[in-house]
Amino acid sequence: MTKTSYWTVEELKNRLQSLPRVSLAPLPTPLEPLPRLSEEWQIRLFVKRDDLTGLAFGGNKVRHLEFSLAQALKEGCDVVINGAAIQSNYCRQTAAACARLGLRCALVLRQDPRVEPLKTEPQGNFLLDQILNADVRLISIDQDLEEAKEAVAQEYRSMGHKPFVLRHPISNVTGGFGYLVCLLEILEQSAQMGFFPDYIFVSSCTATQSGLIVGVKALGLPVKVIGVNPSHRMAPCHSHLAQVSNLVADALQLNLTFTEEDVINTDDFIGDGYGIPSPAGNRALLEVARKEGLLLDPIYTAKAMAALFHMVLTGEVPKGSRVVFIHTGGLPALFAYQPSLIAALAPSAALDR
């Protein structure tokens, strides 16, 4: 179907309803004001609590998994294979979702010698993966992750199982569906609270931001979605985000085309690299904890919050703006990065108390 005008919320909801989906998260997640930071930064700041998506400390990937694991169940798969960094939130949420659905989960976890929580004792997400009974395989940073996942899938096939491998594009496209759902929640909740957002901030370089981008363009909304990239590996990620957005829009038959022009995403807050806390991120983490009692994680959301603070300071986000910050979760990593957080505590404790 071709369409010259914008889509409506109802039409998007109907498209989403036609997709296989399994309920994993208590939705909608809350949209909460952050009054003290709003006053300090002279903006109206709200947080979308996707750290409260339920399963095993929550996070953005629970929304992704509602769609991808529905597909796994539809195909009659009995084991789900995922893989990423050793402190991956995605992998921990996959293990939890599999436990909830009675599926087996195998995780290929990559160790990066530059990243702090390399020690072999389980901690943070790596500990939770094991509590959740995932079949954990460790690989080194030089090994090819996709090949390693395929090798595990082959192993399971040879034992008579039917594996479902989470990888691009299925993983990203279903993530896009999940964040289109999130955008529709934000619109409904902000309308009920009497405002319309000027900006949505999110830590992302793939699926999460693409769902928001697709929704904003489909509905023709005057809201800027600012993605904050957590990783040099995908930097700059504009063309990747446009590609994923096209796949999401095609899967929903929205007849929309995305180019790099549709994407706002910054690489300026990665710091030394993926999985390495940054000084600006740690400062933002402490600021939000101490002013609002809200915990961020050091790898994703703290860096995204540092981006927002910076853009308010420089005027890129003007005073008076209404800003929704999506808290994408990641909290178990707090317990895997003690050295850098303890180091961050020292000077600011002296200044702030």
Ligand X SMILES: Cc1ncc(COP(=O)(O)O)c(C=O)c1O
* Contact set with ligand X (CB under 6 A): 59-60, 89-90, 175, 203-209, 297, 300, 328-330
CB of 158 to ligand X, least distance (A): 30
CB of 207 to ligand X, least distance (A): 5
Decide if 11 contacts 253 (C-beta within 8 A): no
Output 123 or 209, the one with its CB closest to ligand X: 209
189: left (phi over 0), alpha (psi -120 to 50) or beta: alpha
Output 44 or 172, the one with its CB closest to ligand X: 172
Strands, sheet with 135-140, edge to edge from the N-terminal-most edge strand: 135-140, 104-111, 79-85, 163-165
Output 157 or 233, the one with its CB closest to ligand X: 233
Output 44 or 108, the one with its CB closest to ligand X: 108
CB of 271 to ligand X, least distance (A): 15
CB of 188 to ligand X, least distance (A): 22
Output 197 or 332, the one with its CB closest to ligand X: 332
| Residue 8 to residue 113: CA distance in whole angstroms | 48
CB of 130 to ligand X, least distance (A): 18
| Residue 127 to residue 123: CA distance in whole angstroms | 4
DSSP code, position 159: T
Q: How far does Cα 185 stand from its chain's mean position?
A: 16
Q: Is 340 among the catalytic positions?
A: no
CB of 283 to ligand X, least distance (A): 18
* From 5, 38, 88, 140, active-site residue: 88
One-letter-per-residue 3-state SS of 162-188: CEEECCCCHHHHHHHHHHHHHHHHHHH
| Residue 293 to residue 312: CA distance in whole angstroms | 21
DSSP H helices in the chain: 9-17, 35-41, 61-74, 89-101, 124-131, 145-158, 170-192, 207-219, 238-251, 279-292, 301-314, 338-352
- 273 burial class (0-12, 13-18, 19+ CB within 10 angstroms)? middle
Decide if 82 contacts 91 (C-beta within 8 A): yes
> Is there a cis peptide before residue 236, judged by omega within 30 degrees of 0?
yes
Output 163 or 329, the one with its CB closest to ligand X: 329
84: nearest Cα among 24, 165, 20: 165
CB of 205 to ligand X, least distance (A): 5
Task: Label the pairing between strands 31-33 and 44-49.
Answer: antiparallel
Output 44 or 228, the one with its CB closest to ligand X: 228
Q: How far does Cα 97 stand from its chain's mean position?
A: 16
Helix (H) or strand (E) holding 325: strand 322-327
Residues with catalytic function: 88
